[in-house]
Chains A and B, each alone.
Chain A
């Protein structure tokens, strides 16, 4: 009965210090957009988004740490099954950039070793408050052989592109692993919803 409406399912995570705008990366700023007090009080656990790449319908299940990073409790369970990680810092916050190295170590310790990573320098619309140059972002990404992009969730710069590129990189990896076997999507890991209990923290949004 249940007809499958997609080819592949990728689980993605957003990681980085508090306040770098991780939650906002998944939020479309627009004039008539709003968050109700009800939803913002409970908080959002994850989102499902659909992209089409090379004729394949791909479901992205995107998880936000929901403040767990504050307590350094991001461990193996959060990383389980993750195929892609967006590692986010804030270009106006030096400390969040320095911590990228720490997060990379955390990922190495806990995540699957072939997880696809991308570093995002967020809030790139705030040029007058910038403390981390784009070159420094590019350098650290090159040193770790990771993709890099500067983004602005607020001005909607590079957000779609970042997710598309990350998904494409995973798709390449998946295709390579399957040795060109056509229909491979049936075994994409499924992630159950009840993994985490409600954390009652509200969203800490940027500006």
Chain B
């Protein structure tokens, strides 16, 4: 990990159909783990926010050098105890990666230790009623 999470070469893989998930700037529906359906955030608890971040892929081919993708749509959570269920990884630089609390799938986003703000990637979680 070089700690540089800027996106230089954008290989955007995110679908752009998130508009319907946003209500008053926040998540309209419940946010769950894509794999085990553990509830991560209840409706109206994350602010929609766009920023580019190189997030390591959930499925890695080799352990040598983690592959990343540029993610730019996030739910911002300012108080970590807003989460219903979530895991925080050990620290890498100034970042902690977020995982599902139950099946530990991840990273589903990251936590910035400087600002104490958490970012949940929209394309790494499922949105359900």
Contacts and interface: CB of A to CB of B under 8 A. Distances in A.
Counting contact residues on chain B (CB < 8 A from A), the size range is 35 or more
Interface in A1-47: 2, 5-6, 9, 26-28, 30, 32-47
Nearest to A50: B84
B91 A50 contact: no
A27 B93 CA distance: 25
Contacts of B102: 27-28, 33
B109 interface: no
A164 to B, nearest CB: 14
Interface string B88-105: 111110001101011111
A44 B84 CA distance: 17
A146 interface: no
A47 B105 contact: no
B63 A41 contact: yes
B104 A44 contact: yes
A5 B80 contact: no
A38 B83 contact: no
A27 B104 contact: yes
Given A32-B35, A197-B91, A48 B85 contact: yes
Interface residues of A, number: 37
Contact of A48 (B56, B86, B91): B86
B97 A39 contact: yes
A37 B99 contact: no
Given A28-B38, A44-B104, A193-B116, 7 more contacts: A30-B103, A36-B59, A42-B92, A45-B88, A48-B81, A48-B87, A194-B91
